[in-house]
Structure 1
Amino acid sequence: MHPDPTRTDLLSARDTCEILGINQATLYAYVSRGLLESRPGPDHRSRLYSRQDVERLAQRKQAGRGAARGAAQSLDRGLPVLETRISLIRPDGPYYRGKSAIAAVHDGATLEDIARLLWDCGEQDPFAVEIDPHWPATVAAIAGDARLPPLERAMSAIPLLALEVRHSFNSAPRVRHEIAATLLRHNAALLVSQAPFAGPVHRLLAQCWRPDDEVFAELVRAALVVCADHELNVSAFAARVVASTGAHLHGTVCSGLAALSGPRHGGATARAHALIADAGEAPSVRDFIATRWQRGDDLPGFGHALYPHGDPRAAEILARLRETQTDSPMMSRLEEIIAVAEEISGQRPNIDLLLASICQVHGLPATPALVMFAAGRLAGWLAHALEQQALGRLIRPRASYTGVTPSLEE
């Protein structure tokens, strides 16, 4: 193979800029940052650049664009960015360590059963540890103040509860599981402004909202189980990032609660609750849904990017409501809303709508829907925190800078 006689190993600034797709100011910035080396030209005023270095840099830039694009897409339900053994999302719903969440509901699993599975406790039962039924003096006033919103009450008290945990940084799995179990119970009690409770979380919540209603308690149990984890959702990822710093489990839980407080995450249950109420009060459910859809408004509680054919978690809760609320006028209205929304938008209900529906059908405000979500999902946050800290690695992604380019004078 003969060498190309037109090819030279040195390129002019103009040719270099053309290959790299940059202007001369950027070229000079590359040189100042050490990305390229320049050499004197034949007239001692121009500069030349190694073709090999330029082509190598061009390849790096192209790869970088692809990596940056892939990373950006990964941050919004795109390519996987972390490995986990905790949960898998499939068309038929989430799987917790290989076991179907929907099947677990049918088998009568409690949130505590699911927590043991997600935390990989094996034969250990961290919930067998005794729990003090009284709040420490440092949090008693906050924990008992029912005027505070649930998430804010929990986020205020949990950091103070951490001060009471002697072994919060202990790395032994058994100790960490016991801390997690107590924290799961404390969080649930804080969300409903009750004293710490040693029984199942679903019974604590159900007794607060509809005392001695076994059918309702079963609905709450099912909701907690299907909400326990959903892979790297926003709040789980936030908790995982914080856990990667080595922060104690109480700190990771607070980060999850903070993420959940946003209107595009946990706040979706309140918006779904409002949609059901507004549609029910409208003269025509069809006209109400159609008008919203035609003017470009979303339908809170409908559609899910990871379940294009319908959210199986929602389908499970809806089936249970249908079994227990056959004569309920509110249930009939809900059925109409669901049918019309699917006909007009093509979207099916997601778990946010069904958490809100549990409340609407039972005459409850929107808050219990968010509480069920937060109480259940805490099991998953703790699982991700435990897994991340066992890896012992910091999560520290890089950003692609798109701001003002520094001037050469600086």
Structure 2
Amino acid sequence: MRDQEPAPGHPERRLTTKEAAELLGVKPETVYAYVSRGQLSSRRVPGGRSSTFDAAEVEALARRNRRESAGTPGTSGEPAVRTRLTYIDGDRYYFRGVDAVDLAVAHSYEAVAEWLWTGELRAGATFTAPEASLKAARRAARALPEHTGPADRLRAAAVAAAVADPLRFDLSEDAVVGTGRTLIPTLVAALPPKHPGHRDEGPLARRLWARLTTRTPDEASLNVLDTALGLLADHDLAASTLAVRVAASARAHAYAAVSAGLGVVEGPLHGAASGLAHRLLDEVLERGDAAPVIAEELRAGRRIPGLGHRLYPGEDPRARALFALLEEIPDAHPARAAARDVVATTARHTPLHANVDLALAVLTLSFGMQPAAGEAIFAVARTAGWIAHALEEYGERPLRMRPSGLYVGPKPPRPLPADHARAPGAHSA
């Protein structure tokens, strides 16, 4: 409860808002959020507008937060981090309690991002970037070698956009959300356009399309890309998202936190997996049969990309949603059939279901995009989730994402090692 009075005969030590925030390791506004949620009581200073807090109560909350933020064992024995963003249950996942597939199918990527950031649905949301940010990002991207992939271009663009923003160190909620609204279109604008006369206007999916393929889109095709962006906006604590939260825990600004995520995306087991699946499907289409392609992959000791997901016992709901939309696109039928062939052929060996990487591969292959296009779609989409997780982490105790190492090396102390660079009896020049 708020504005509690001390019990008679029990004097208590009171803390100012600043002192309580420092003890809890949070911003002052977060202290009042604890009050509104009933986790702390407060008392108005007589004749003033500020409040004071019971020191013992604040210390107890700080201890509880430290226990919780240190991680509690999950179902797999792994540490857990509190989040209000994404919840995965069975073969479904939810953004702030709302079915994520339903949300992405019914609303634009921009609206999904706003929902993750603010908990409010802004159906007509549009993202624009200041000219200084766009110029800096494009200049940085143009300076890279022509063969540079999208992940490298996006990383360079994020760094350049940060340098162009003198307010990047403002970690308030409004400022960070504002960064998300300008950074995402800046990243898209940094990718080289396939249509020289294209103008960066309209929905983000349309702007991104012009940088991934020379084909002219129809509304159905744009809807598939827009839905893919929404479906990929967040997915709990994936590897790149964990990197973002570590950066945010150290109070790196939002651009730096996103850059940390972009650094992880390029891994073949994460954002780049769709490119491997794209090449696999392309070879299946060329040879007309998945069996010899799968056989060669297994013989070489490689895992089949686009299959299985550790969080879903059945088919990835993101893949299911994209496949349903792609069934309505005639140009996608050959790649969709190849994907079904891959799943069926592999099922003879291991019953694995399709994941979103295979669905992204069908999308990129069907619309005449390069294999790396799926990585670009993934990175741009996931930036919304990274911003949301950075926002959450800024409200937590700083540097809490600091596990202790389990040392398994030689027992110290050991003598200094010998200098093998110098032979016995050798003299220095």
**2:93 match: secondary structure:** strand
Contact in 2 for aligned 1:91/1:307 (Cα 8 Å): yes
* 2:320 equivalent to 1:315: yes
Given the superposition, is the C-alpha separation of residues 367 and 288 from structure 1 closer, same or farther in structure 2, using an over 3 Å criterion? closer
CA distance in 1, matches of 2:123, 2:222: 23
CA distance in 1, matches of 2:123, 2:102: 21
**1:345 match: secondary structure:** coil
Residue from 256, 269, 283 that aligns with 1:251: 256
CA distance in 2, matches of 1:235, 1:270: 17
- Runs of 4+ deviating beyond 6 Å: 70-74, 123-126
**1:404 match: secondary structure:** coil
* 2:85 equivalent to 1:82: no
Partner of 2:290: 285
CA distance in 2, matches of 1:298, 1:136: 39
Partner of 2:203: 200
Given the superposition, is the C-alpha separation of residues 198 and 172 from structure 1 closer, same or farther in structure 2, using an over 3 Å criterion? farther
- CA displacement, residues 58-108 of structure 1 (integer Å, 9 cap, x when unaligned): xxxxxxxxxxxx98997x97534210011111223321110111111332x
Q: Greater shift after overlay, 186-195 or 396-405? A: 186-195
TM-score (norm 1): 0.74
Q: Greater shift after overlay, 213-222 or 134-143? A: 134-143
Partner of 2:388: 383
- CA displacement, residues 363-384 of structure 1 (integer Å, 9 cap, x when unaligned): 3221211111111111011111
Q: Greater shift after overlay, 109-118 or 360-369? A: 360-369
CA distance in 2, matches of 1:331, 1:134: 42
**1:407 match: secondary structure:** coil
CA distance in 1, matches of 2:220, 2:126: 26
Q: Greater shift after overlay, 88-97 or 256-265? A: 88-97
Q: Greater shift after overlay, 284-293 or 298-307? A: 284-293
User: How big is the shift at 1:268?
Assistant: 0.9
* Residues 224-239 of structure 1 aligned to structure 2 (within 5 Å): 224-239=229-244
Partner of 2:50: none
Contact in 2 for aligned 1:268/1:300 (Cα 8 Å): yes
Q: Alignment identity in percent?
A: 29
- Matched residue type, 1:112: E
Contact in 1 for aligned 2:272/2:372 (Cα 8 Å): no
Partner of 2:15: none
User: How big is the shift at 1:121?
Assistant: 5.2
CA distance in 2, matches of 1:77, 1:188: 37
CA distance in 2, matches of 1:301, 1:327: 17
CA distance in 1, matches of 2:164, 2:193: 19
CA distance in 2, matches of 1:125, 1:316: 20
Partner of 1:120: 118
Given the superposition, is the C-alpha separation of residues 237 and 212 from structure 1 closer, same or farther in structure 2, using an over 3 Å criterion? same
**2:118 match: secondary structure:** coil
Residue from 97, 108, 111 that aligns with 2:109: 111
Partner of 2:410: 404
* 2:224 equivalent to 1:189: no
CA distance in 1, matches of 2:174, 2:332: 48
CA distance in 2, matches of 1:295, 1:129: 45
* 2:354 equivalent to 1:349: yes
- Matched residue type, 1:170: D
User: How big is the shift at 1:175?
Assistant: 2.3
Contact in 2 for aligned 1:185/1:198 (Cα 8 Å): no
Residue from 213, 217, 224 that aligns with 1:219: 224
CA distance in 2, matches of 1:326, 1:128: 29
User: How big is the shift at 1:389?
Assistant: 0.6
CA distance in 1, matches of 2:251, 2:140: 27
Given the superposition, is the C-alpha separation of residues 327 and 139 from structure 1 closer, same or farther in structure 2, using an over 3 Å criterion? closer
User: How big is the shift at 1:233?
Assistant: 0.3
TM-score (norm 2): 0.71
User: How big is the shift at 1:136?
Assistant: 5.5
Q: Greater shift after overlay, 305-314 or 291-300? A: 291-300
CA distance in 1, matches of 2:185, 2:243: 21
**2:395 match: secondary structure:** helix
* 2:163 equivalent to 1:163: yes
- Matched residue type, 1:342: A
User: How big is the shift at 1:129?
Assistant: 7.4
CA distance in 2, matches of 1:211, 1:348: 32
Partner of 1:29: none
Contact in 1 for aligned 2:308/2:354 (Cα 8 Å): yes
User: How big is the shift at 1:196?
Assistant: 9.0
- Matched residue type, 1:250: Y
User: How big is the shift at 1:303?
Assistant: 0.6
CA distance in 2, matches of 1:153, 1:250: 14
Given the superposition, is the C-alpha separation of residues 327 and 110 from structure 1 closer, same or farther in structure 2, using an over 3 Å criterion? closer
* 2:336 equivalent to 1:337: no
Given the superposition, is the C-alpha separation of residues 72 and 406 from structure 1 closer, same or farther in structure 2, using an over 3 Å criterion? farther
* 2:367 equivalent to 1:368: no
CA distance in 2, matches of 1:249, 1:116: 16
Contact in 2 for aligned 1:93/1:100 (Cα 8 Å): yes
CA distance in 2, matches of 1:96, 1:123: 12
Partner of 1:100: 99
Q: Greater shift after overlay, 189-198 or 110-119? A: 189-198
Partner of 2:24: none
User: How big is the shift at 1:288?
Assistant: 3.2
Partner of 2:141: 143
Q: Which has the larger radius of gyration?
A: 1
Q: Compute the RMSD of aligned alpha carbons.
A: 3.1
Q: Which has the higher helix share?
A: 1
User: How big is the shift at 1:349?
Assistant: 0.8
**1:297 match: secondary structure:** coil
Aligned residues: 339
* Residues 19-98 of structure 1 aligned to structure 2 (within 5 Å): 78-98=77-97
- CA displacement, residues 154-176 of structure 1 (integer Å, 9 cap, x when unaligned): 21232222122232222432222
User: How big is the shift at 1:141?
Assistant: 2.4
- Matched residue type, 2:98: K
CA distance in 1, matches of 2:122, 2:319: 32
